[in-house]
A and B are shown apart, each in its own frame.
Chain A
Amino acid sequence: MGDYYKSDDLDKFATMGEEAPELWEKFMQYYGAVFAEGALSAREKALMALAVAHALQCPYCIDAYTRESLEKGADREQMTEAVHVAAAIRGGAALVHGVQMKNMINKLGF
């Protein structure tokens, strides 16, 4: 398990296309289109990706979208707020499942 999440591995991302070039090509085209300037700015999209990366806790994506957010002109405050959005939604999602817990308690208990 010690071989997981090495920084150098991010540079090898494209090797995922070696056995499936067409699928890779399609993914990359889609990926590029998603992050292009659109109704949302490229900076806003980078900050969203940064938040999602934290919610997913993907170290590759955290590294990549920290850099990308900086290179799209975001600063520490904006990036920290984005991570708090991820934390709030994750925390809220945990808490709101408490309602399910309560439903179950109510069903099982007196």
Chain B
Amino acid sequence: MATGLNMQPFLSGDSAEQLKLLRDQTGVQPFVDKLGENGLYPLRCNGISVLQVNLGKVCNMACKHCHVDAGPDRKESMSLEIVERCLQVLDGANIPVLDITGGAPELNPHLPLLIKEAVKMKRRVMVRTNLTVLEQDQNYHLVEYYAAHGVEVVASLPYYRESNTDRQRGRGAFIASLRVLRRLNSLGYGGEQGGLLLNLVYNPGGAFLPPAQQAIEAEFRRELQSRQGITFNQLLTITNVPVGRFLNFLWHSGNLENYLQRLAAVFNPAAAPRAMCRGMISVGWDGTLYDCDFNQMLGLACRNGQAGHPAHISSFNLEFLQQREVLLDNHCYACTAGSGSSCGGATADSCRTKK
């Protein structure tokens, strides 16, 4: 039970400290025990169909729910050499989907090259964008670039109204996002079937679970269409993962134990086998490989072989990695709560309890 505000300093950038905090919550059953109880431990990768590349932690925004702890002051950004390694792996390991994330991927100068080369290989390419970065002069043209290359756009929009969105992402974020969404619509994004794909992402504005994906999607569709004239393809609901800046918020607001208990109370065994780590590999800005973007921020790197060094994109061992055991910890409760959660939205039917 939360006991109030925690004033002790906590550095959300320190991954060891983050892990310690997640493990120290005595009222929370360790996630691996929960999986064991349900006959689901260990969790293994089941083939790699997505290469998720995190181009860095630099971002024009500093959202409250950010697990990356990204922001304008960050310096970590993927080099051309690592980008080229990613392309070699995409080609050599025949991975069908390239999922580009950050920070704001648009703030990495090698993004256009990564897209162009992956499209040449006929890969499905998606970019996770915060939208507002596409208003900046130097990135304005990227909207047309995405359209010309058939890139799927996955755009964060925490809510269909201004005050909620701006509380999470900063003042002016909502209006700026709408302007970019209108440009995307005018280029053929988010329209009829067969057109360019524009999916929106909903994140809860605090320490609570997301609503049922279908229900909130209908709300977004109605509100954005009728009030703003904006259309999109799908709304993905993502549970806030207790990592990075969001973990910092949970800790300082006295919500951490309560939030983890809440996630654990609605543990859905059907969501565990559908966790996205089972079908992907995530590349950090320096080329280190992880099970997912969250493990990346916690410094939980994949091993290169049974007892080897942290795995790196420059020595990509497909055979081992595609059946690796996933590294799990208490943050994983976010992927298995209620309807489940992944970068592709909800993963399972809900089994949420009342009150």
Interface residues of A (CB under 8 A from B): 7-8, 10, 13, 28, 31-32, 35, 37, 41-43, 64, 67-68, 70-73, 75-77
Does B186 make an interface contact (CB < 8 A)?
Answer: no
Q: Which of B163, B216, B354, B355 contacts A73 (CB 8 A)?
A: B216
Q: How far, in angstroms, from A10 to B211 measured CA to CA in the complex? A: 22
Contact B206 A70 (CB under 8 A): yes
Does B10 make an interface contact (CB < 8 A)?
Answer: no
In residues 133-165 of chain B, which contact A (Cβ within 8 Å)? 159, 161, 163-164
Inter-chain contacts of B206 with A (CB < 8 A):
70
Given A37-B215, A43-B215; A75-B355 close (CB under 8 Å): no
Inter-chain contacts of B11 with A (CB < 8 A):
none
Q: Which residue of A lies closest to B262 (CB)?
A: A67
Q: Which of A28, A43, A70, A75 contacts B161 (CB 8 A)?
A: A75
CB 8 Å contact bits of B176-216 with A (1 = contact, 0 = none): 00000000000000000000000000101110111110011
Does B219 make an interface contact (CB < 8 A)?
Answer: yes
Does B1 make an interface contact (CB < 8 A)?
Answer: yes
Contact B219 A73 (CB under 8 A): yes
- The smallest beta-carbon distance between B41 and chain A, in angstroms, is 27
Contact A42 B161 (CB under 8 A): no
- The smallest beta-carbon distance between A32 and chain B, in angstroms, is 6
Q: How far, in angstroms, from A70 to B206 measured CA to CA in the complex? A: 9
**Other contacts beyond A42-B212, A75-B161: 5, CB < 8 A:** A8-B1, A32-B354, A42-B215, A70-B205, A73-B216
Given A10-B355, A13-B355, A32-B354; A75-B210 close (CB under 8 Å): no
Contact A71 B354 (CB under 8 A): no
Q: Which residue of B lies closest to A31 (CB)?
A: B354
Inter-chain contacts of A37 with B (CB < 8 A):
215
Q: How far, in angstroms, from A35 to B354 measured CA to CA in the complex? A: 9
Q: How far, in angstroms, from A10 to B163 measured CA to CA in the complex? A: 31
Q: How far, in angstroms, from A8 to B164 measured CA to CA in the complex? A: 29
Q: How far, in angstroms, from A28 to B353 measured CA to CA in the complex? A: 11
Given A43-B219, A76-B164, A77-B161; A71-B1 close (CB under 8 Å): no
Given A37-B215, A64-B355, A75-B159; A70-B208 close (CB under 8 Å): yes
Inter-chain contacts of A7 with B (CB < 8 A):
1
Q: How far, in angstroms, from A35 to B212 measured CA to CA in the complex? A: 14
- The smallest beta-carbon distance between A73 and chain B, in angstroms, is 4
Q: Which residue of A lies closest to B258 (CB)?
A: A7
